[in-house]
């Protein structure tokens, strides 16, 4: 495999926030920050051990693949704090870029409600939704990351959307 020189500072700036959003669907901000760090460290090690094939995928896709496993490994670890964490993330850790305070509060509430709704969905649907948060990921890339046929991914998306609309009262 050809080793490509990488500007890691730039990659962290690009990939870090995407991974962070992926994790914050399931964990608090502090936990998510730790999990992003763990994911990035594993990504660096993979790169150093020449296990990244840039012909098969870019660094971002590899990082999401790793993030999936990091999330599964840590679900149990953080599970006992789950209820507390959902409240914590509402109050302290959600930062919204907005000058309008009223808008900020509304948005915080929306985010809180959305996260709770997503956490009631099935595991596969949760994973797919958390990947969909990255607007740049195509369905094909998502299907490769979670190792699922694209037809199945679309099916899960359709069902997740119906469920969310039911929970959130969107018609």
Partner 1 sequence: MDDRDKELDKIIDPLRKEDINDFYIKRWQKNVADELEISRKFNLKNFFFVNMKLATATIAGFVLGALIFGNTEFFQENNQMVKNLDDSATVEYIFIKID
Contact call for residue 85 and partner 1 (CB under 8 A): no
In the list 23, 25, 31, 70, the residue contacting partner 1 (rule: CB under 8 A) is 25
**Structure-block tokens of residue 42:** 């594993």
Are 101 and 126 spatial neighbours (Cβ–Cβ below 8 Å)?
Answer: no
Looking at residues 55 to 84 of the shown chain, list those that interact with partner 1 (rule: CB under 8 A). none
SS (H, E, C) 113-147: HHHHHHCCCCHHHHHHHHHHCCCCCCHHHHHHHCC
Closest CA to 51 of 62, 61, 40: 62
Name the packing angle between helices 8-24 and 123-132 (round to 10°).
140
In the list 96, 124, 146, 155, the residue contacting partner 1 (rule: CB under 8 A) is 96
* φ, ψ of residue 116 in degrees (nearest 5): -65, -40
Nearer to partner 1, 45 or 77 (CB): 45
Contact call for residue 94 and partner 1 (CB under 8 A): yes
Residues forming contacts to partner 1 in the complex (CB under 8 A) are: 8-9, 12-13, 16-17, 20-21, 24-25, 29, 33, 36-37, 40-41, 44-45, 48, 94-98, 107, 110-111, 114-115, 118, 129, 132-133, 135, 138-140, 154, 157-158, 160-161, 164-165, 168, 170
């Amino acid at each position: 495999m050809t080793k490509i020189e990488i500007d890691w500072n730039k990659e962290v700036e690009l990939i870090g926030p995407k991974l962070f959003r992926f994790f914050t669907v399931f964990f608090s901000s502090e936990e998510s920050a730790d999990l992003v760090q763990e994911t990035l460290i594993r990504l660096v090690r993979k790169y150093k051990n020449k296990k990244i094939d840039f012909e098969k995928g870019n660094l971002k896709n590899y990082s999401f693949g790793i993030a999936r496993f990091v999330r599964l490994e840590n679900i149990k670890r953080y599970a006992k704090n789950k209820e507390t964490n959902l409240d914590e993330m509402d109050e302290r850790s959600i930062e919204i870029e907005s000058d309008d305070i009223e808008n900020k509060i509304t948005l915080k509430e929306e985010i809180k409600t959305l996260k709770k709704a997503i956490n009631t969905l099935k595991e596969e649907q949760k994973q797919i939704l958390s990947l969909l948060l990255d607007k740049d990921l195509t369905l094909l890339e998502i299907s490769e990351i979670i190792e699922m046929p694209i037809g199945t991914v679309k099916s899960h998306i359709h069902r997740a959307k119906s469920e969310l609309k039911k929970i959130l009262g969107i018609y």
